Structure 1
């Protein structure tokens, strides 16, 4: 029943931040996203069990191996995303969801809507990215 309610509900800025409705909405959003990723993983492994590499042509085999490598890379990113979703769900239970892990400030509904696994407010995320970019530039010099 709640699943149906939160398909039409959208968090509003004039509601108390991370109120019950917000937490339920993001819980359902994260669980739905997680289910999709798990289903994609199951399909991937079913396809992998098939006869993907049973071709006589060496060029076809090479192309298929490259495709499988790309698929595994995608699968690895999806596994990391599932871990991030699980951590976000734990933060909801702990009452920490929606707050920046660096500053403690609100992350914001718009940012969470776009990236429900976000752990930093925009300012902290931008600062982090600048720091990573600066390290990358200094490492390549």
Structure 2
């Protein structure tokens, strides 16, 4: 097998063995697709476990404290957890979209200009849909308009 073969060691998208492409290897070939599929699926599974943990934690810790301060503290903690889970829910949706793009053969290419996003950028941000140049331009426009 080529030197592009690698193994994963982790669960989060940021604790895996970086993909090492072989000299002249085609972009988004089968081993690369499988590499990113594993990253995305593992990341999604980890986020789903967090959701389950939060639900169990809130069920286990829910109490009707007689002291208004204790009640307020608990509600504040629950509110923070729910906001975090909401952000993760949105991230799960992006991960699912990335997996769909992977299946359609559209993953790894900029949705704006069509160029390759690049392996390292995708490893840093597996849900990226734009190359760094298009993303930078979008951010500049957003700053100017916002």
Range into which the TM-score falls when normalised by the shorter chain = 0.7 to 0.9
Instruction: Give the SS at the match of 2:19.
Output: coil
Q: How many residues in Structure 1 have an aligned counterpart in Structure 2?
A: 132
After TM superposition, give the deviation of residue 54 of structure 1 in Å. 2.3
Q: 2:41 aligns with which of 31, 35, 49?
A: 31
Q: 1:12 aligns with which of 20, 30, 42?
A: 20
Answering whether residue 138 of structure 2 is matched by residue 131 of structure 1, we say no
Q: Which protein is richer in helix relative to its size? A: 1
Q: 2:56 aligns with which of 42, 46, 53?
A: 46
Q: 2:115 aligns with which of 100, 105, 109?
A: 105
Instruction: Give the SS at the match of 2:113.
Output: coil
- 2:117–2:130: 8 Å Cα contact kept in structure 1? yes
1:87 aligns with 97
2:87 aligns with 77
- 1:53–1:65: 8 Å Cα contact kept in structure 2? no
Q: Distance in 1 between matches of 2:19 and 2:28?
A: 9
Query: Unaligned 5+ residue runs, structure 1?
Result: 137-141
2:66 aligns with 56
After TM superposition, give the deviation of residue 64 of structure 1 in Å. 1.2
Q: Distance in 1 between matches of 2:61 and 2:92?
A: 28
Q: Distance in 1 between matches of 2:139 and 2:102?
A: 25
TM-score by length of 1: 0.87
2:14 aligns with none
TM-score by length of 2: 0.85
Query: Unaligned 5+ residue runs, structure 2?
Result: 1-5, 10-16
- 1:100–1:106: 8 Å Cα contact kept in structure 2? yes
Question: Which stretch shows the higher mean deviation, 65-74 or 115-124?
Answer: 65-74
